[in-house]
Structure 1
Amino acid sequence: MSQVKLDILKHEQIQYIEFVSKDINRAKNFYAASFGWRFTDYGEHYTAFEGDFVDGGFTSGTPINGTILIVLYSKDIEATKSKVINAGGVIVKDIFSFPGGKRFQFTDLDGYELAVWTE
């Protein structure tokens, strides 16, 4: 983890997220195309990812939908939505307003539902 990330870590905030994926290479391609995440493989059944403000990993297995909704921030929600669609994501709730901003929700290629928000 870079020193910059260490300097912005907040007490009791999400620091690392692990997903289960049926196809780790497919997940890597999707998240690299959608959000620019970078990956480091640790064997054939695990890869770690690094984004600008989140780190995590993917492990081999069968995903279970409906457990946690992860929400990502975007400065340009329309552009992010287009990247998600172009990478193969499916929009399950189109952009809508909520107190504090706008967001949309999508499923990735393993069926996980995530959201993206903006002010």
Structure 2
Amino acid sequence: MRISYVELPVKDVAAARDFYAGAFGWSLTDFGPDYAATTTGDVDLGLNGSEDHPIPCVLPIVEVKADLEGALDRVVAAGGTITVPVFAFPGGRRFHFRDPAGNDMGVFIVEQEAAG
């Protein structure tokens, strides 16, 4: 497992997308009106303007290849606090947690059937 995604809170997804495209030449894909992301397969950047699942700060996200619920159980057993329960998004599912030091992070799994 590794951090494979960093999500930024934004008010205006289109303006943020245009900024990163102009500043760094990044290509971002729109996933609806309130989300855009790079899709390089390396450490990708997401721009979160969602009112349903807003984030308060920069959110590093760890990718797991299998067993999202097992990862959630391990986070809790290690002393983490779940701040957003498991939810589906186009292409997968994820949850957010706060570690004992107060840092917010997320964990996701790719599941194409979750997109429907």
TM-score (norm 1): 0.44
TM-score (norm 2): 0.45
